[in-house]
Amino acid sequence: MRFVSTRGGGRPVSLRTALFEGMAEDGGLYMPESIEAWSAADLAALPGQSLIETGISVLRPFVADDIPSRTLSSIVDEALAFPIPLVEIEAGLFALELFHGPTLAFKDVGARVLAGLMAALHGGDARSTILVATSGDTGSAVGHAFSGIDGFRVVVLYPDRGVSPTQEAQLTMFNHVEGANVRAYAVAGTFDDCQGLVKRAFADRELRQAVRLTSANSINVGRLLPQMIYYFCSAASRAFTVRPAPIFSVPSGNFGNLAAGVMARRAGAPIRSFVAATNVNDVVPRYLATGRFEARPSIQTIANAMDCGNPSNFERLRWLHGGGLDAIRGEIEGSVHAEDDVRSTILRVYDERNYLLDPHSAIAYLGARSALSRSPTAVFLATAHAAKFAEVVEPIIGRTVDVPAPLAAALAAPRSILRLEATLDAVAGALRG
C-alpha cells in the first residue's frame, strides 16, 4: 500500500514515510492510495470475530507490505487490551464506549496502535521527536502510548487553562519524572494556536530535520487507520444482524474520528450515514448548510476537546468526497448543540437511564437521538469517561463521579506545569532541549 497527499503533490510514499513524516511535503495530509472494499464473505464473518481479529483484518491491507503478519498481530493484541462495548441506552440507540483504555478516552485506540506501528518501523535509527497539539485527550493518550519506548520522545502542546484540571493532570504526569521521554507544555493561547505551531514547526525544514520531527496527532494517517477498527466492530455487532445499518453520530472537533468512519464505510463497514455532532464550534455544519467553509477562532466550551475553529481533517473529508459538496452532504449531516442542551442532556440521561455521559458524548447522543427520526438504529461514540470531566458533570448530576484507577493515579501524581509562549521560537527551544 502506498500513501498520497490530499493536495496531489509528490509521488506516493510508503507506510513508514507517511507515519514518520506526518504531513506531506506539499502541506497536505497523507491518505491511502486506495481503500479496498471487503468481500461479502469477510463482512459476513465479522459478527463472530473478536476485537483483535477485526483489528488485524482492518489494518492488514494498509500495512501488509511493511509489517509482517505476526508483528501486526502482536501490535494489535498489545494495543487493544481493553474492551470496546456497545451498550443500548434506549430502544434503537446505542453507545459505543471508547473510554476503557488506559487514559479513558477514544484516542487510546489510535495512539496505542500507532505507537506499535512506529516502533516496529523505527529500525534503530536516531531518536524521533513526536510533536503533538492537543485540546485535551490526544496528548495524554499519545504520551502514555509512547512512554518508555526506545527511539522516541514526545512533546505535547496544550492550551494553558484550556483543558480540564483532570486532563491537565494526565498531560503533565510525566513532567516530574527524571529522564522521562514525554513532556507537556501549557501554551499561552488556544488549541488553534497550538495546532498552528505544530504546522509551522513541520514547515520549518531545518528544525524538522534537526530533531527528526514527526506527529501523532490525527494529522498522522497512522492515527486514523486504527480508528476504523471500532466502526467495523460496532456496525457488525450481533445487535445489528437483524437490523438496518445504523447511523453513526460522531462528536467532532478536528474531524479525524469522522474521517476514519468515512474510510471504514468506504471499505464496506455497514454504516448508513454519519452525523457530525459539534458544539458551537460549528464550521463544518455551517459548511454543510451554506457551502462555504470559513475558519474562525475557536470558542471555549465545556466540551473542550471539540473546541476547534479550523479542523485539519476537513481536508481529508473533502478529499474522500472528491471535493464535492453534494457528495459530502449525501453522507454527512451536521448537528450543533449549545452548552445548555449539553448540561440538560447529561442530567436527563442520568436520571432516566442511569447512564453517565461526559460533555462530548452528550453532544454525540443528541446527534444520534435526532437520527432516530430517519433510522431505526443509531450509534453514538462515547469518547471519554465522565470522570475526566468531573468538574463539569458532578454539579449537573449532584453527586461525585467514581474515579477509575488509571485516572486516580494521574491525579495523585505531583503536578508540574511547564509553560511556553505561543511562538515558534519557544516551541523550537523545547524541541531542541
pLDDT in tens, 163-214: 888 889 999 999 988 889 999 999 999 888 998 999 899 889 899 999 999 8
pLDDT at 424: 97
**Residue 95 predicted with pLDDT over 90:** yes
Domain 83-106+222-403 matching CATH 3.40.50.1100: the answer reads yes
On the question of pLDDT at 423 being above 90, the answer is yes
Residue 235 pLDDT level (bands cut at 50, 70, 90): confident
How many CA atoms lie within 13 Å of 92's alpha carbon, on the beta-carbon side?
Answer: 16
Which pLDDT score, from 0 to 100, does residue 165 have? 85
> With bands split at pLDDT 50, 70 and 90, how would you rate the model's confidence at 347?
very high
Chain CA centroid to CA 260, Å: 9
Residue 340 has pLDDT above 80, yes or no: yes
Q: How far apart are CA 360 and CA 396, in angstroms?
A: 15
CA angle 366/368/370 to nearest 5° reads 70
Buried b (16+ CB within 10 A) or exposed e, 113-150: bbbbbbbbbbeeeeebbbbbbbbbbbbbbbbbbbbebe
Q: Evaluate whether 408 touches 388 at the Cβ level (below 8 Å).
A: no
Q: For residue 420, which of 405, 431, 430 has the smallest C-alpha distance?
A: 430
* pLDDT, tens digit (0-9, with 9 covering 90-100), for 46-59: 988 999 999 999 99
Please give the backbone phi and psi of residue 348, each rounded to the nearest 5 degrees, phi first.
-65, -45
The arithmetic mean of pLDDT across residues 232-260, rounded, is 88
Cell of 103: 487514559
Residue 240's pLDDT is what? 77
Q: Does residue 283 contact residue 54 with C-beta atoms inside 8 Å?
A: no
Lowest mean pLDDT among 201-205, 394-398, 399-403: 201-205
Nearest residue to 140 (alpha-carbon basis) of 98, 192, 180, 103: 103
Cα separation of 284 and 302, whole Å? 19
**Cα(222)–Cα(242) distance, integer angstroms:** 33
Q: Are 132 and 217 in contact (CB under 8 A)?
A: yes
- Say which residue the cell 484516542 belongs to: 107
Residue 242 pLDDT class (50, 70, 90 cuts): low
**Strand, coil or helix: 128:** strand
Written as nine digits, the cell of 323 is 471535493
d(CA 171, CA 185): 9
Nearest alpha carbon to residue 18 among 62, 52, 81: 62
Query: Mean pLDDT in the chain?
Result: 94
User: For residue 363, which of 298, 275, 288, 279 has the smallest C-alpha distance?
Assistant: 279
| Consecutive H or E run containing 21 | helix 15-21
Tell me: the pLDDT tens digits for 108-146?
A: 999 999 999 999 999 777 899 999 988 778 889 999 999
Check: CB of residue 278 under 8 Å from CB of residue 335.
yes
- Phi, psi (5° rounding) for residue 207? -65, -45
pLDDT(244) > 90: no
Tell me what pLDDT residue 259 has: 98
pLDDT computed for residue 305 by the predictor: 87
Q: Measured between alpha carbons, how far is 172 from 152 in angstroms, rounded to an integer?
A: 18
